[in-house]
Amino acid sequence: MERYKVAVRAAILWLHPNISQQELEIELAWTMREIRINRNGNLIWRLFPLGVKLFESLGEAQNWRCCYCHCPTTEFGRKRATIEHYVRLVDGGLDHPENMLMACYGCNRELGFLLEWGSLKVR
């Protein structure tokens, strides 16, 4: 649970940089009760309120465009938005806002598995 706590704490601080230590601890305690984890042991950011805020913040920062193909992403359909990790979790990357980008579903799934990570170019 500690690695999830580190990721959630980082997300809270990224979204609320001026939060007091007391408010941070309260928000962290509540959020840890809401987190959702997939069968691979990774956080599913879209399934709890703080994760949704983080997801929306990442989307807005990139104007809801894929970091690879630069196409507009939408919530539904083939080009829906997903969170991509700049350094993949399997390669030791952190589930931290500074390691997250917005990618369309196709690029996140297809390119992530088919290409060598070093050859992917983030725009």
Q: Which amino acid is at 66?
A: C
Per DSSP, the three-state class of 61 is helix
**pLDDT for res 18:** 94
Domain-by-domain residue ranges, the chain? Answer: 2-119
Confidence of residue 95 (pLDDT cuts 50, 70, 90): confident
**pTM for the whole structure:** 0.74
Q: Residue 79's pLDDT is what? A: 63
pLDDT of 2 above 90? no
Task: Write out pLDDT tens, residues 32-54.
Answer: 998 888 888 888 887 888 888 88
State whether the Cα torsion 78-79-81-82 is positive or negative.
positive
